[in-house]
Every structure is written in C-alpha cells, then in structure tokens.
Amino acid sequence: MDNGASSYRRFREDGDQNGLIEIIREYRDGLIFYLNGFVNNINTAEELAEETFVILGTKKPRDKGKGSFKTWLYTIGRNRALNYLKKNSRVVEVSVFECAELQADEETLEESYIKEEKKILLHRAISKLKPEYRQVLWLTYFEDFSNKQTAAVMKKSVHNIETLVYRARKALKNQLKLEGFEYEEL
C-alpha cells in the first residue's frame, strides 16, 4: 500500500469500499492518538477520527498530491479537531468512572498501536505536555513524519516546527526526569 493513496483512489474513483476499509485499518489508531493530542479525550478523539473517515466517504475530497496521503488525512483530522474545540470550548467534566474507562481505553490502544514498552512510557509522558508539544512529538516520534510533513499538517513553517520540536523535546526530558526515566534517543 502506497501510504493509502491508491486505496483512496480505488474507493473514490471505482467505488471500491475495500479501499476505505484498508485506510481505516491502516490509519485509525494513529489518527486517534494524534487527535487525542488536541482534545485530550480518547473517546472524543475516536469519534473525530471516525468523522474524518466519514468525510472521505461522503465529500470524497480530492488529494491534491502535495504531500503524502497520510499527511493529507491527518490535516483533515486536525481541522475536525479544531472545529470540535471551537464548538466545545467549555470544559467538559467527566465522572471518576468515566475517567477510569477513558484511561483504560487509551492503555488498550497504546498496547495495540505502540507496542514497545519504552514507547508507551514515552507516550504517557508526552500526554502530560501542553497540546502543541503533544502533537508535534506524536507526529515526529510515533508517526515518523519529517519536519516538512509535520509543518504541513500543523500548518506552520518548517522553521517553526524545528523550534517547536526542540522545545517539546526539552519539556519531555524534564517530564521524564520527574517520573524517574531517562530516554537515550531524546
């Protein structure tokens, strides 16, 4: 699969539903984690990810081919998340039970998507940083996006992303230190 572009083309132009199913299977979890960086609620992030796939299925937007399909998909997801935040600017309170459930969901997803123990710990430390740092670190460390791709998704300049990555890594190191971890790659 070439980053999902050919699957999407099959779905969009030939009406092959398997194309969309392949995209959902390939990108759902990563997208949820990325969107969770915005809304900090794994269930809401899941809904937003689902909405992103629904947009692909209904509006069938055309991938302009400026970057990879994944970059484009994450950009659509990001716009959905920002719209959601604009409409739901009030802080949503959740019960203790709900909170525990959300945490359990996130842990399940971490285990299936991130797999490596070290990376799971890293992700948990990242989730305690501010939203902008969470997003940029997720894209660069977990999705292996280049600075250029990250800049495209986050609609910032490459220079801004470089600065942001530098500051986010510094903040993450401090966070890990606070929790008693050292991560060599940082």
Q: Which of residues 8, 38, 53, 145 is near another protein by CB under 8 A?
A: 53
CA distance 54 to 164: 31
Would you say 175 and 134 are in contact if contact means Cβ atoms under 8 Å apart?
A: no
Would you say 77 and 138 are in contact if contact means Cβ atoms under 8 Å apart?
A: no
Q: Which of residues 42, 73, 154, 164 is near another protein by CB under 8 A?
A: 42
Quick one: which segment of 51-59, 64-72, 118-126, 178-186 binds another protein (CB under 8 A)? 51-59
Residue 129 DSSP label: S
Closer CB to another protein, 9 or 28, in the complex = 28
Quick one: which segment of 15-23, 115-123, 126-134, 161-169 binds another protein (CB under 8 A)? 15-23
Q: Pick the closest to residue 65 from 12, 26, 15 (CA basis).
A: 12
Question: DSSP E strands: which ranges in 70-185?
Answer: none
Q: Which of residues 1, 6, 13, 25 is near another protein by CB under 8 A?
A: 25
Q: Which of residues 16, 50, 132, 162 is near another protein by CB under 8 A?
A: 50
Residue 95: Cβ within 10 Å count = 8
Report 90-149 residues binding another protein (CB under 8 A): 105, 108-109
3-state secondary structure 24-64: HHHHHHHHHHHHHHHHCCHHHHHHHHHHHHHHHHHCCCCCC
Q: Closest distance between another protein and the C-beta of residue 59, in Å?
A: 9
Closer CB to another protein, 50 or 132, in the complex = 50
Q: Closest distance between another protein and the C-beta of residue 130, in Å?
A: 25
| 176 makes contact with another protein (CB under 8 A) | no
CA distance 57 to 8: 9
Residue 121 DSSP label: H
| 54 makes contact with another protein (CB under 8 A) | yes
Residues of this chain that interact with another protein (CB under 8 A) are: 17, 20-21, 24-25, 28, 42-43, 46, 50, 53-54, 57-58, 105, 108-109
